[in-house]
Amino acid sequence: MAAQQTFFEERFLTPTGEMRILTDDGGRLRAADWDNHGDRQLARHYGENGFRIVESGPKTKSRERLEAYFAGDIGAIEAIETRTGGTEFQKAVWSALRRIPAGQTISYAGLAANIGHAAAVRAVGLANGANPIVIVVPCHRVIGADGTLTGYGGGLDRKRWLLDHERAAEEGHREAALRRA
């Protein structure tokens, strides 16, 4: 039996609601979700008794970077180190999610093709839904084949807000670059 892991919890307000993040003793982000979603992924990835949660001490770098993201520094989350449970297939999907540029979207089929499993669209969708680290592992950037916003554990209103937030920040960066040129 694997040893029980300790995760350090932080809660903070965002424009999309109260967020809860969990980090490990190495400072790696292990879970991020909105407070009203509880521990929906933790037991799935670490087992019912495979973890314990304690209150975090000082503000972590993960929290600082997420707060910067919400303040408009979209790239701040790229430096957050993560570690997850999950299968090798899920980890491949989550890794591919992190390569989707901010403000851009991809279909489930496109994501499946990107990881070399073009026929595994349904499995990619399941892995996307099992993602324990919202925003940093940007499952909100995956859309339906017809371009519509589809399923998101945090709700479609949040998904829409996140995409709009990223697009606005990216547009601001482009405009600033043009002014400097």
Residues 160 and 110 in one domain: yes
**What is the model's pTM?**
0.89
Cα 108 to the chain's mean position, in Å? 16
Q: How much is the average pLDDT of 134-149? A: 93
75 and 13 both lie in a single domain:
yes
Q: Are residues 102 and 20 located together in one domain of the fold?
A: no
Last residue of a domain, one of 79, 96, 114: 79
Q: Within this chain, do residues 58 and 105 fall inside the same structural domain, yes or no?
A: no
pLDDT of residue 174 exceeding 70, the answer is no
Alpha-carbon 5 to chain mean position = 21
The number of folded domains in the chain is 2
Instruction: Name the residue with tokens 């180190």.
Output: 81
One domain, residues 98 and 51: no
pLDDT in tens, 97-132: 999 999 899 999 999 999 999 999 999 999 999 999
pLDDT of residue 33: 92
Q: Is pLDDT of 176 > 70? A: no
Can you give the pLDDT at residue 158? Answer: 94
In this structure, the answer to whether residues 94 and 172 fall within a common structural domain is yes
Catalytic residue among 96, 139, 142, 163: 139
Percent of the chain with pLDDT over 70: 90
CATH number (domain holding residue 96): 1.10.10.10
Active site residue 40: no
Where does a domain end: 79, 107, 134?
A: 79
Are 81 and 27 within 8 A, CB to CB? yes
pLDDT exceeds cutoff 90 at 161:
yes
Name, in order, each residue with C-beta under 8 angstroms of 5's C-beta and a sequence gap of 6 or more: 24, 46, 50, 51, 52
Render pLDDT for 23-42 as a digit per residue (tens, 0 to 9): 999 999 999 998 766 566 77
pLDDT digits 0-9 by tens, 65-107? 999 999 999 999 999 999 988 899 999 999 999 999 998 999 9
User: Quick one: 99 and 166 in the same domain?
Assistant: yes
61, 77, 96 from 82: Cα distances, Å: 12, 10, 14
Average pLDDT of the residues in 50-73: 92
139: containing domain: 88-180
Contact 136, 79 (CB under 8 A): no
Choose one of 49, 79, 109: the last residue of a domain: 79
Q: Please say if the pLDDT value at position 173 is more than 80.
A: no
